[in-house]
Structures are given as C-alpha cells and as structure tokens.
Structure 1
C-alpha cells in the first residue's frame, strides 16, 4: 500500500481533510493551533478498483517549544517514508519565510509533492492562490474543505498515484495439466489462515508514561513523548505481530480530574471512552514513581463499565521507591472491582518486562474469548448450587436454576435459565468465584444474566 502524508503548519485543515477522506470524524478538529500532535494512520479505499492506501495525518509544523519541535520532527520523518506528500496551506494568508523553508525541505526529498491551498471559500480568495506559486510547486490544488470546493478534483489526482487491484485469475484460465499443489506456495498457504486480532487500549491519567509504553511495545518512536501534560490528544494506534496475533495498541489521551479538563481535552475524554468500547484488552497504566491517586480508581471504573479484559501495569518501576509487595497490596486494595486483573511492573524507559506484558495480553485475551462447553458449565453450576443453595425470594419461594448456557464471549457471558430471573448480588459473586475455581479466567470479567424460562437469550 502506498503512503499518503498530509503536512502543513497548524490549523490549516489537515485533520479536516483526513476526516473527509476516511469518511468519519476520527481526528479531533479545533480552531486551536496544535490540536493534532501525534501522527494518525488509517487504511482507506479511494475506489473499488484501486488498492487501499495508508493515509497519514501529522502534527502542525511550527517552531515554538520543545513539544512542537518534536511534533515537527515526527512530521518530517513521516514525509521521508511517504510515497506522496500533500502540503497544505491556509489560502487566507500569504506564504512567509517559515512556510517557504518547510516546503523547500520537502522538495529536497524528491518525492511526489502536491501543494494544497485550503480555505479558498470564494472567488475573491481564489485570487490569493497565485501568491503560493512562489513556493515553486509543480502542482497546486485550491480547495475549501468547509464548502466542498475542489476536494473531488484533489482526490481524483491522488487516485492517479494508487495502483489498481490485481485481478484474480479465473479457474477456467488455469491449464489442466498443471498439478494443483504447484499453484500455491507454502507462504500463500499461511496467508489463508484466519488472522487473530487483539485491540488493546492503553489508558491512564496524564503523564504516567502511556506514550512511552506504546513506543516500547511496538519497538519504535511511534508516539511523541514529552513531560508536558496532555501531549497526546487524539488516540493513536499501531499494530504489531506477536505469537500468532495481530495486536493493535491504542494510546489514549491522559485523563485528568473533570474540573481540570481544558477545552479540546473534553473531546479526548470522549475518544478514550470510545476506544474502550471497541477494545478487547485495557492496560491501566499507573505511575510507580508517584503512586496511586483517586483519579486512577475512576479510570479503572471506566474499564469495569465497558467490561474489558484488563491488565494493571505500574510503569516507571526503574524510578519507584516502594516495595513490590507493598505496591501490589495497595493495587489490590484500591482496585477491588478489577480483582480479576493481573498486576505487573514495567519500565518503558529500560524495556523491563515489555515482552512479558505482550505475553500477558495474549494470555488474558485467550480467557476473554473462552467458551465453556454447555455440559461442563451445567455440571459446575449444579455442583455450586448443591454446595450453597440459592436463597429464597421475599415470599419464601424457592429459586431454581434450570440450566446455564454461554451465549457470548468478550467477555464470557452466561445465561442462567431460572424460574425467577433474579439473582442476589452476593450469590452472583459466589457463582462467578466458583467458576473461576473451575477454570482459568484471569484478566477477564464473567457476566451472568438471569433469564426466565422460555424467554429469548440476548446480550445486554
């Protein structure tokens, strides 16, 4: 797949164009300069007859402080790897020395480079487009994303850089005397296997090292790391192949106390919730150096709410002053509702336990997708109810579980078919703990749903 990178100074409309191409509101858009800081990648199809492309949105090019310099450096690194560069400018301005310097730097890469003049909302602004020809661009496309002017022409031009899909050879065109086994190589056979995919959300409060952890897990400087709070705003993702699985890590924006959430960070909080909704495994990142705070517990509550598999990770262990057992004891005390989650310490800086964390992700995902045979499940439920009888209802009538069946995974979700579809929370907890004694469900919640006999089973 070819890579198409969008570069430009802050607030010229790069993220708006990115959203237009992928046809959804993925990148956060704001009038505030510097909203996009990390790169965002999406695989997108521009036409049914063309191969898919990797579209990359970058942070604004600006020389302001340490954080913005890192954003700028990352954007130019992306440009070096791209097959096509779209350099976007604001058509309501005129090119300054900084703009000329950036564009000249991109020209030296000797790659296809298109100058996109955005915010040309009317014919009067179109006259100002000619000022940008001084940059020496071979191709200039005036557009207005807000008014959908010229966007279609630009997309058609991008399509010309994209290879067409290879046509599948019809069976009738294969010579009959060629042995079937010679038509496929071992490598092609491997591609026929169903891909196993795990979505992992990395969550935590501001500045606990989530972006550093993402970089350590994927083995590259994928996310921008800075001591400045709120460096990550958009969720950013990267996929690796590990132990037979494609693992996609999503680094979410750091969450701070609601009273301290600033302007665009409220959108970041909403994105974090959306990421958890779509994730399989959540990594709750704690700061081993500064300890656990109340906000950590609230973030853990979001994981419980979305019923993700969970691993609790104490990052910055190389700088921690607390004893391991003491820290683990505090974790178990503060996160009782995530009691099923394994706990481990890591250091994104020194790479301590990073491979073990990857192994743990695969391990808890296996439990998150576990299915219990109906016969075995009913055998366990019968044993549990015989050991400890169900309580009667408020009128003293006996409550019975006729049978149980698991009807969903992610997490394991079990319907209990009963004469009275009510289950006291203490007995529900007893049954769940009993099931955990019978099989390994480390890292995943177990959901029990009482159902009246004869009613259709469906997941809440």
Structure 2
C-alpha cells in the first residue's frame, strides 16, 4: 500500500505548483492570487521510482470557523489527519512569518511526521529563508523550487522512509466493449460490461446548484467545501465511492456561468478545469436548481456534453422545495423534450442533495445510461433494421438520381458510433440522416446518449460473397 502525503502551508507559498510537479501534469489551478485552492485534491505522485498519493490543500489561515476561510482550514486539517506525512511549505524568499510559526506549532501538537520544505529557494534570495526555516523546530528543511524542479532529489530522500509495499491496481484505460460470438449460432452478440473498472462521473452545472452538497451527501461525509457563497469550488476534485458494490469515481466541478460573465483569469481557469472533467468523464450529471430550471446556460452545458459524446443525466436538485411535484415534473419533461432534442429521452431525476432523497434513483438511472453508452449493436440486427427502413422510407432522389444505402455497421461504442455505406454520401440530405439516427435510437433503445453517424462511399463487403454462392 502506498503512503499518503499532504501539502500544507499558508496561502501562496507554491503548494499547487509542487502538486502539479509531483503528479506530472498541470491539473491543479495555479495563480498568483492567494487562496486559489479551496478543497483538498488528491493525485498520484512520483519522484523517481517512489510512488505515493499526494493531497493538495487550501492555504492555512487563522479565521472564524464559520467563515469560508475557516471552512477551508477545516478541510486542510482533515487532510493532515488522513495523511501519513505532511509537507509543510514556507516561502524561502519571504522567510519565516508569524503565521508559519503558528501553524508549525499546530503540526507539532498533531504529532504526525512533518517534512519541512523551503520552496522558492532558487538563487541567493532564497538562501536566507532556508537558514531561517531551522527556527521552526521541525528539523532540517528541504530546499527546493517547485516551479523549476530543483531539489527533487532531496525531497525523494526525505520521503523515502515512509514508503510501504504497493498494492496492485487495475489499469483504468478506456476500452470499447467488443462484440462477442454466440457459440451456438456463430452470430455477433453484445458482450457483457466490465464491472471491475470504476465509472467516471462528472457533476456539473451552474454556480450554487448544489453540486458539492450532493456529493457530500452521497459520500456521507463533509468531503467537499460547501456554503451559501456561489462559486466556492474552483478545482475539479475527484473522489472514489462505492454504491451497491459498483466503484464510482466522482468529479466535483466549478460552476459554469455564461461566457460573457466570466471575467477574471481565475474563473477562466476553473471553467477550463470543468471542461477537462467533462471530457474525462463517461457519464455527466447536469445538476439543475429546480426553482430556476433550464436556463440558457443549462442548455449550453447539456449541448456541450452531447458534443463531447458523453452520456447525460439531469438531476433536478432542491426538489424538496417543490409543492405541486406532479405538475412540475410534467412541465420539466415537456421542456426537456423540446429544448434538448440532441439527447432525446434523457432521464430527469428529482432529488435533494441536502436530505439525500432521490440519490438511489439517480444511481439506478446512471447505471442504465452507462450501459446504453457502452452498447454495441450486432451488425446483422443493424442491417435487418436498415432493410426494413429502406423498404418503407427509402432515401429521396437528389438531382433526379437515387441514393443507394447498402450497408451499416457500428465500429465503436462510447458513444455508439455508426457508419453507413452509400452510393452518394455527400448528397444524402441532413433530414434523412437525422431520420436514421432517430430510428436507431428508438428501435435499439439508445436514449439519453449522443449518437454518431458517418456516411462513406463503398461497396457492401458481403456482395462478392453473395455472388460466389
């Protein structure tokens, strides 16, 4: 089992920069503004052949427990308790401050191992701060520069004593579910899903829709920072969860406002992080505030999810505030069908992130949508359907010439993607392409997931075989 390391320190000492350096990717938002990180964010880190789990945390500040800064500090203290060792960062250019001394005393009281790190120690300007760090009484400081990668060998030596034997882990690379062969008939059939890998689920929506509260209720703990303030979440935070023996990797994301309202560099970075979470996810839960549902921004987020090819579920949060629930649900279903034709049949799940009601129904729908997103339709069944469609509604003649649709197959899933071979793909009207996609969706029950259809010019691969017979 690998060990866990928490990076702690006052704001703007370079914790997220060091986090990004150790995980080998710029996944934590970094900015000169103090207090960018608010939640604790885990990642898989490596120095040489030393592998461990790293936790990025909010800057330690002495504040009222009920304030936002106080709640951020509580998250950091939970990370200290969770970790096997803490990296206590100070800014070597600034030297030891009274705030550093205050939190060094806090770490001594906790009684867990601490590695003192003097960050930004490159050049002569940082040398005095490294020497001053001895005054904290936490042992010899490790002088490094997270931004430039200097001092990593010394950090490796400081962390090496905490290494434990590592457990084997599953490779989580995405692989399309292949078609299996029926041993009796020799025909292609749908292969069962691989249930050993976690389902990657991104929780997205506008600011203050209740995304972090919903995840905390799912987990049964205050894992994510929440509060009445809009826009608390900045980084996309991943947490592991198990529901009815199914492994789930949840991604909490920053709220996405209208593009015209995104003004600061920090908010642009947060939105960019959310977009990466959507691309990485397999299922996206769009969380709506049911008191103001289907705003323009909600529709744009849903359209983005469809264009990225991810399965979609709409969570109607704050359902406990609705009085006439039956009438409200009928109204919302009509709005969804009218405003989101690109994901026809998307599930609408009423729930309350505060009380937890509706979460089991949400997860049931999530598993159904995930299975649909992974479906592979056997080629024989697809072409039997195509023959029936062509008999009842053949493609229209364009410029006096018929378009022949010869053959259709599904080369991949995630999302279901189809290829149709025809005589003049460039001339087939868009309306007929939509007709085919809607027919596939209805016949094979592929609701709530985006479908792809590509037209190619080519011959039926079985045509020569038929002539030989």
TM-score by length of 1: 0.88
- Compute the displacement of 1:367 (Å): 0.3
**Does the 8 Å contact 1:46/1:159 carry over to 2?**
no
- Compute the displacement of 1:207 (Å): 0.9
The partner residue of 1:406 within 404, 410, 413 is 410
**Does the 8 Å contact 1:340/1:445 carry over to 2?**
no
Q: Structure 2 CA distance, aligned partners of 1:134 and 1:45?
A: 30
2:61 corresponds to 1:62: yes
What CA deviation, in whole Å up to 9, does each residue of 1:196-221 have, x standing for no partner?
Answer: 33111111111111111121223322
Q: Structure 1 CA distance, aligned partners of 2:379 and 2:148?
A: 58
The partner residue of 2:366 within 346, 358, 361 is 361
2:437 corresponds to 1:436: no
SS of 1:41's partner is strand
Aligned match of 1:300: 302
2:386 corresponds to 1:388: no
> RMSD across aligned C-alpha pairs, in angstroms?
2.1
- Compute the displacement of 1:164 (Å): 4.4
Segments of 4+ in structure 1 off by > 4 A? 164-167
- Compute the displacement of 1:330 (Å): 2.7
**Does the 8 Å contact 2:233/2:254 carry over to 1?**
yes
Structure 1 unaligned segments of length 5 or more: list them. Answer: 168-192
Aligned match of 2:113: 112
Q: Structure 2 CA distance, aligned partners of 1:371 and 1:248?
A: 24
**Does the 8 Å contact 1:91/1:119 carry over to 2?**
yes
The answer to which of 243-252 and 233-242 deviates more is 243-252
What CA deviation, in whole Å up to 9, does each residue of 1:174-203 have, x standing for no partner?
Answer: xxxxxxxxxxxxxxxxxxx87233111111
- Compute the displacement of 1:11 (Å): 0.7
**Does the 8 Å contact 2:21/2:149 carry over to 1?**
no
**Does the 8 Å contact 2:314/2:347 carry over to 1?**
yes
Alignment of structure 1 residues 39-438 onto 2, 5 Å:
39-48=40-49, 50=50, 52-63=51-62, 66-165=67-166, 195-261=196-262, 262-321=264-323, 323-393=328-398, 395-422=399-426, 423-438=428-443
Change (3 A) 1:63 1:324: farther
Q: Structure 2 CA distance, aligned partners of 1:151 and 1:46?
A: 7
SS of 1:264's partner is helix
Matched positions, count = 428
- Compute the displacement of 1:21 (Å): 0.5
What CA deviation, in whole Å up to 9, does each residue of 1:43-97 have, x standing for no partner?
Answer: 234444x5x4211101111235711111110000110111011011111224333
**Does the 8 Å contact 2:282/2:310 carry over to 1?**
yes
Q: Structure 1 CA distance, aligned partners of 2:410 and 2:245?
A: 26
